[in-house]
Amino acid sequence: MRCSLFIPSPTLLTHLDLQYSATAMLAMDYKLSMPSSSPTKWWSKETVAVVTGANKGIGFALVERLAELGLTVVLTSRDVTRGKAAIESLRAQGLDIEFCQLDVGDSSSIMAFASWLQRRFGGLDILVNNAGVSFNEIDSNSVEHAETVIRTNFYGPKLLIEALLPMFRRSPATSRILNISSQLGLLNKVSNSALKELLRDEDKLSEEKIEYMVSQFLDHVKKGTWQEHGWPKVWTDYAVSKLALNAYSRLLATKQEGHGLSVNCFCPGFTRTAMTRGRGSRTPEEAAEVAARLALLPPSELPTGKFFKWCTPTLYSKL
């Protein structure tokens, strides 16, 4: 049973709830197996983790969890007021969190953030690209905001990664990038065979090809022909943004193999946040628990180029 952002029928709901009760146990076991003195603990207060879009939702819960586990965590938010309110609520719990403004849709904000991070910490160990948008309602599909969605969900992580790549410490533990993605962006959601072919051919896949795919989609949106070209049918603009993110992550993982940087994607499944208008089969804390587990896998067990469906790595769609 795959996790899905869409829950149209009570039967499906039951399946997801059942699936969740099993995975909740896994998440709980994980929590129990990660006390601060655990032998698998490879990180320390010197380990710097950055989480984007962390003023609310899954990102906020992830910052909280990583800070509880003893890392130095940078909470970033595009809006300073919302970011500072988030920081205050975490500090009120005794958690020591750093803050910096970061709008992933704005390249000057990305550059300013990279300079701040360099000055403040001299580098980083973990980047979680969590910031994301969707303007779709649960049971509707619109491409009205396609450009913003693509800019935020695909170009945002890509430009941030490019800016931070030279700053990953890559030692003593492997540095990590965890891109919070979605199964809506898996290749099996695409029915255009030429597009599938392009994305499947990993030896020939390039950033240019991924960006070309994205520009084709935006062009189809502009011309009003997007429904004829075999793009994903559900939350189309969001799905294309995550399709591109998944493809880019896989490409980057291959390029970085052997250079001390792992790159993986994680689909948290249907989670009760602002993006889903509070609907979902799990809480942001439960999703963040699994994200933290993946971000902190022991170096010897850390894969690269994987797409994690909740706790399970999968390559069934190649991306």
Which span sits near ligand NAP by CB under 6 A: 186-194, 203-211, 217-225, 276-284? Answer: 276-284
DSSP 256: H
Q: Does 5 bind ligand NAP (CB under 6 A)?
A: yes
Can you tell me the distance from the alpha carbon of 130 to that of 179, in angstroms, rounded to the nearest whole number? 6
82 binds ligand NAP (CB under 6 A): yes
Nearest-CB residue for ligand NAP: 57
Angle at alpha carbon of residue 27, lines to 26 and 28, rounded to 5°: 90
Q: Does 75 bind ligand NAP (CB under 6 A)?
A: no
Smallest gap, in angstroms, from Cβ of residue 253 to ligand NAP?
18
CA–CA separation, 47 and 173 (whole Å): 10
Residue indicated by tokens 């910052």: 63
Position 274 contacts ligand NAP (CB under 6 A):
yes
Binding of ligand NAP by 57 (CB under 6 A): yes
Residue 182 sits in the site that holds ligand NAP (CB under 6 A): yes
Instruction: Give the separation between CA 262 and CA 146, rounded to whole angstroms.
Output: 29
Strand duo 307-309 + 312-314: pairing:
antiparallel
212: annotated active-site residue: no
Find the catalytic residue in 20, 30, 212, 238. Answer: 238
Q: Which is nearer to ligand NAP, 43 or 60 (CB)?
A: 60
User: Does residue 29 contact residue 290 with C-beta atoms inside 8 Å?
Assistant: no
Reading phi first (left if > 0) and then psi (alpha if -120 to 50, else beta), residue 59 is in alpha
The answer to whether the peptide bond before residue 172 is cis (omega within 30 degrees of 0) is yes
Tell whether residue 136 is a contact of ligand NAP (CB under 6 A): no
User: Based on CB atoms, which residue is closest to ligand NAP, 56 or 84?
Assistant: 56
The SS3 of residue 295 is helix
Active site positions, annotated: 238
**Positions that interact with ligand NAP (CB under 6 A):** 5, 52-53, 55-59, 78-79, 82, 102-105, 130-133, 152, 156, 180, 182, 267-268, 270-271, 273-276, 280, 284
